[in-house]
A and B are shown apart, each in its own frame.
Chain A
Amino acid sequence: MPFVNRLKRHLVVIAGLITLGYLLLPNIVVTVFSFNKPKGRFNYEWQQFSTDAWKDPCGVADMCGSLSLSLQIALWATVGATLLGTMIAFALVRYRFRARGTVNSLIFLPMAMPEVVMAASLLTLFLNLGAQLGFWTILIAHIMFCLSFVVVAVKARVMSMDPRLEEAARDLYAGPVQTFLRVTLPIAAPGIAAGALLAFALSFDDFIITNFNAGSTVTFPMFVWGSAQRGTPVQINVIGTAMFLVAVLLVLASMVIGNRRTRQKS
């Protein structure tokens, strides 16, 4: 029974790898089907190998426009949410003040609320105010739901920070601004970066809240949604594959830089 015993010992590893396969299967399918040449409007069945879509990724009407709109919104939403969220995180960790509990639950609630509820309620607000739905309403909504995630990410980092480092800076006659810029901010930076990255990914990928508050403006996820009814161009798979590759490369690069930093320190 040595084989069965070995199987038993590695059961967790096997089960884990199966889950990993389940997670990556759609990405593999997306990549493979980006080289497909479909017969009809839908790209659900394998027909023939072709690199046409990779040669002409913007060959579909409106797709790249929606992509650049999504990138712009994600960028501004990241800037807004990171700025506001970092300030809140510092206030929560560094100061004792009244209404701290209320603030904490106001931060927690958007994360514990189904997206469709937030989306619908925000739409009722905009409808009541007679606001023009479009770029600005999407941006407002995205900053709103990314904010809490940034707070959580930055809070975790600031909480684990040693306050004695700042005391040391002050003892060495650094002013408050200097202490903040030269000591506090660099230490908090990984948390802020993680929050910003999360905000970017959440905003770029959001469909439900955008769908309610976009009016006739079309972001990339909304374009994909529409194409599921009208017919999915192969170019969508090209974009999906490229996004996956860029994400992997970005994370790898950040790890390499991080490793080099730690090696330099030691």
Chain B
Amino acid sequence: MATLTEAPPPLSPAAPEKKPPRKRGRLVPYWLLLPGILWLLVFFALPMIYQASTSVQTGSLEEGYKVTWHFATYWDALSEYWPQFLRSVAYAAAATVLCLVLGYPLAYLIAFRAGRWRNLIMILVIAPFFTSFLIRTLAWKTILSDSGPVVGALNTLHVLDVTSWLGWTSGDRVLATPLAVVCGLTYNFLPFMILPLYTSLERIDGRLHEAAGDLYAKPLTTFRRVTFPLSMPGVVSGTLLTFIPAAGDYVNAELLGSTDTRMIGNVIQTQFLRVLDYPTAAALSFILMAAILLMVTFYIRRSGTEDLV
């Protein structure tokens, strides 16, 4: 078997016979790509162009819109809604950090410590994906309710006094505060952090840990110098998979927050679907896209993982 597969295949008499189908097959990749790429061009790329043109239109719903290259819409949108933009970035960043802190131990546990429980824990991480995330987010309303055990415990421990002083909560409530929104965001995007982390942790050769131990590295040193650097691809893709959707999310801010916790997604949704101010909504969503692309590019450069991914 080994000799068969290792024998050099070219220069054999079969080679000239193979040539004709190759020539005929030169168009095959394009035929394979055509339907899917056409779909993405028409329903992903083209809409972006439409949106760009909408963002520089003026007019009204009744009279119709015209492209007038009215770039002031961008400026107006930014000067009116910068708090929501800042809030989106802050909440998404907080949720991403929390996801990393919470998700790393679990990913580590599944990769190295779970043993025969590994499959069960994996199922428990993935299965919530199939339950509607809206139902699960609504459940947080119950968990964090004013008279519930969580708020009660935090109150008894005087944690809420501190968080209220920091502006994360208000009074003895958690619902309708930034803390509730960040908690919901963290919960919703946690699996997107755990799965890439697990994938990159699982690839690490366990013998490297043994080697570090043999060289008298303490567990913490092993983690800092061996495990964590090797899991960087997972950390980078996990943080991106958490941060990007969290920054655009408006479900958590709507269900668990108040008018004071509105994120940019809420504004875009309201402008598009209720106020029907299409140019402003288009401009806002373009600014969000540009901001995220910029941040992501900068982040990937900084983390120096272009060649790692």
The residues of A with any CB-CB pair to B shorter than 8 Å are: 12-13, 15-20, 22-27, 29-30, 33, 44-45, 84-85, 87-88, 90-91, 94-95, 97, 103, 106-107, 109-110, 112-118, 120-125, 127-128, 140-141, 143-144, 147, 151, 164, 167, 171, 176, 201, 204-205, 207-208, 211-212, 220-221, 224-225, 228, 232, 236-237, 239-241, 243-244, 246-248, 251-252, 255
Q: Is the CB of A201 within 8 A of B289?
A: no
Q: Is the CB of B33 within 8 A of A91?
A: yes
Q: Is the CB of A124 within 8 A of B54?
A: yes
Q: Is the interface of A mostly helix, strand, loop or mixed?
A: helix
Known contacts A44-B141, A114-B247, A201-B129; A125 and B29 CB within 8 A of each other: no
- Mark the stretch among B79-87, B132-140, B207-215 that contacts chain A: B132-140
Chain B residues whose C-beta falls within 8 Å of the C-beta of A243 in the assembled complex = 130-132
Among the listed B50, B127, B141, B248, which residue makes an inter-chain contact with A128, where contact means beta carbons less than 8 Å apart?
Answer: B50
Q: List 7 additional A-B contacts (Cβ < 8 Å) besides A17-B109, A107-B40, A112-B293.
A: A19-B106, A44-B141, A87-B35, A114-B288, A120-B51, A124-B50, A124-B51
Q: Does B47 contact A (CB under 8 A)?
A: yes
A-B pairs with beta carbons under 8 Å apart, 13 shown = A23-B190, A30-B139, A44-B142, A45-B142, A114-B245, A114-B247, A114-B288, A116-B250, A116-B268, A117-B286, A117-B289, A247-B131, A252-B123
Chain B: interface residue total (CB-CB under 8 A): 86
The residues of B with any CB-CB pair to A shorter than 8 Å are: 5, 9, 14, 21, 28-30, 32-33, 35-37, 39-41, 43-48, 50-51, 54, 102-103, 105-110, 113, 119, 121, 123-143, 145, 147, 187, 190-191, 194, 240, 244-245, 247-251, 255, 265, 268-269, 272-273, 278, 281-282, 285-286, 288-289, 292-293, 296
CB distance from A49 to the nearest CB of B (A): 16
Q: Is the CB of B47 within 8 A of A251?
A: no
CB distance from A195 to the nearest CB of B (A): 12
Known contacts A106-B41, A147-B40; A12 and B255 CB within 8 A of each other: no
